[in-house]
Each structure stands twice: as C-alpha cells, then as structure tokens.
Copies of this chain bind each other. A is one copy, B any other.
C-alpha cells in the first residue's frame, strides 16, 4: 500500500497500461506539458510525443480521430480537459463511438477511454463545472465510470483502458489532490461492482464521485443521531450494481440517492425508479436544483448538495 493522490493514481494507471500495451496512447491539448491539471506529468518523457500526444484545440477531431484510431486497433485515451468541452464532440462520442460496433453489425469495436473531468471546482462557473454523467448512462454502447478514491481511480482507469467498449471516464476535479492508500501491484477494479464503504441498517445512501465523501461525512453525523446509514459508492453508472443497491435497500427499507448533478433527469432518478419498481421502498433523491452553476461562492454553494442537506433528508425519512 502506498499513499498517493487521486491524480497520481491515474497517472500511474496510465503509465502502467502504456508499458504493458504499446497500442495504448493518450491524446489531448497540452499533454506534452503534463496536461491542464498535471495528470500527465512526466509521461511524455517516458513514452515520447507520439504516444503522449498534444492536440490542436479541436475537440471534434480529438474524439473523432480517436474513434478511427480505435477502430484500427489502437487504444486511445482521450483527454477532454473539462467534461463541458466534450459537448463540442458529442456527435463523435454518441453517434459514432457508441454506435459503430452495433450499426456495423459487430465488424468493429471502439476501445477508447474518454476522460471528462466533472464537477464544481473553485468558482469555475457555468461552463466549467457541469456533471453530465446521466447523459452518457442513457446512451447504449457507452460505459460510464465515476471514481471517488485514489485506489478506484487507479483500478478503474486500468480497467477502462483494457475495456473493449468506449468508456466515459469522469474524474472529479475537486478530488485531484485527495490522498489515500492504493494497493500495490496490479490493481484492477471491475465495472458494475459497487463499494459499500459503511454498513448500516436504517437507510441506504447511494452516491458516486466526490459526493461519496459528502455522504460519508453525513453518515458520521447521522451516527451521532443513532441513525446507521449504509453508504454505497456506485463507482460506475453503467453498468450499475443493482444487486448491491437492492439488497441493501431490502434490509434498510429506505433509499437516499445523492449526486452533485442537477436532480431533474439525473441518474438518481434511474436508481430511484428501479428501486421503486422492484421494492416499492421509500425513496428520496438529493441533487442540484435545475440551475446553471454560478461564479460567486454564495451562488455556487446554493446549488451544492451538502452534508447538512444529506443529514436532514435522512432524518426526515427515518423520522428521528
């Protein structure tokens, strides 16, 4: 076990996979100087500029060229910088990458990882803060991963690179500096297997990405109110671990889903709906109001799903 940051975990994952497989390469703006957040630091020195490739500011080409390169047998890791800029390449991701295998009747595959950092990050305002993971969960052909910890950012990025499906890989910008233990040696985290970070009998709290940490803190607080919350980190939204969630809710009888994304049409709705369909359990969601994210901290904070809101929602559900 080594204690490393969420960013360093991803850097190591990519380096290990690039050493293992010469067909893995990364492409995006500024990668040669370490990438916009430093998550590619040192890699061009080891792998050269053909495999850690700079790119023009051409999101459609970055993503679209990677589709072609993936169909031709390489395994591109595509850096979109902010998930917001990936909106400049939606045709390439949704009409092309996600559908090529199907519409060509299985003649090809598109093994690519599209890194789209999400989330609010120090007053970045409406065009640099979005969390649109539910969009991609709605698109057949795509895998959607949202790691919450350094260990998962290592193990899931490695799994994503080895996956033969296009993976939308959403790191949370606020987690870059987060440090934690990461297993030594080959560490792979499978998709579709949730992580139960805390057990509890009163309520199930499901979340992913940075919001998991808010929920974990809320669970601490709830414990002081003698409410034992089970906290589940979903890790991947597609596939998502229905089994773990439904089993937990069967025990607790109550489900709260919390995510940073806008509540209306967020992926919490899918989980709530499935749970209601299968168990008829009490469900409740916490997501952002349907408003863009503002610059001023007061405005930004107004759409944040907080620990206090999480605690309050659970207490109301449990009735104490």
Q: Say yes or no: A292 contacts B141, CB within 8 Å.
A: yes
Residues of B within 8 A of A284 (CB): 277
Q: Nearest Cβ in chain B — how far from A93, in angstroms?
A: 8
Residues of B close to A214: CB separation below 8 A: none
Q: Which of B85, B285, B292 contacts A98 (CB 8 A)?
A: B292
Closest Cβ–Cβ distance, residue A315 to chain B (whole Å): 16
Bound-state Cα–Cα, A139 to B295, Å: 18
A95 to B292, CA, bound (A): 10
Q: Is A121 an interface residue (CB 8 A)?
A: no
Whether the Cβ atoms of A103 and B292 lie closer than 8 Å is: yes
Complex Cα gap A276–B255 (Å): 11
| Pairwise interchain contact A292-B88, C-beta atoms closer than 8 A | no
Please provide the 3 A-B residue pairs with the shortest distance between their CB atoms, ordered closest to farther: A138-B265, A272-B273, A276-B276
Q: Is the CB of A94 within 8 A of B103?
A: no
A91 touching B95 in the complex, CB below 8 Å, given contacts A238-B264, A265-B134, A273-B283: no
| Residue in B closest to A289 when the chains form the complex, CB atoms | B140
Residues of B within 8 A of A275 (CB): 276
Chain A residues numbered 282-320 whose CB sits less than 8 Å from any CB in chain B: 282-285, 289-292, 294-295
Whether A138 and B277, one on each chain, are in contact in the complex, defined by CB atoms closer than 8 angstroms, is no
Q: Does A40 contact B (CB under 8 A)?
A: no
Given A87-B90, A103-B292, A138-B135, does the pair A95, B264 have CB atoms closer than 8 Å? Answer: no
Residue pair A269, B273 in contact (C-beta under 8 Å): yes
* CA–CA, A95 and B238, complex, Å: 25
B-contacting residues, A90-111, CB 8 Å: 90-91, 94-95, 98-99, 102-103
Among A125, A138, A282, which residue has the most Cβ atoms of chain B within 10 A?
Answer: A138
Given contacts A138-B264, A265-B138, are A87 and B91 in contact (CB under 8 A)? yes
**Chain B residues, CB < 8 A from A90:** 87-88, 90
Query: With A88-B91, A265-B138, A267-B265 known to touch, is A102 a contact of B290 (CB < 8 Å)?
Result: no
Known: A85-B91, A273-B273. 10 other contacts (CB 8 A): A87-B90, A88-B91, A99-B126, A134-B138, A134-B265, A135-B138, A265-B265, A269-B269, A273-B283, A277-B283
- Residue A215 at the B interface, CB < 8 A? no
Q: Which residue of B lies closest to A101 (CB)?
A: B292
Q: Say whether A270 faces chain B, with CB atoms less than 8 Å apart.
A: yes
CB distance from A266 to the nearest CB of B (A): 7
CB–CB A285/B265 < 8 A: no
A270–B132 Cα distance when bound, in Å, is: 15
Enumerate chain B residues within 8 angstroms of A276, measured Cβ to Cβ. 272-273, 275-276, 283
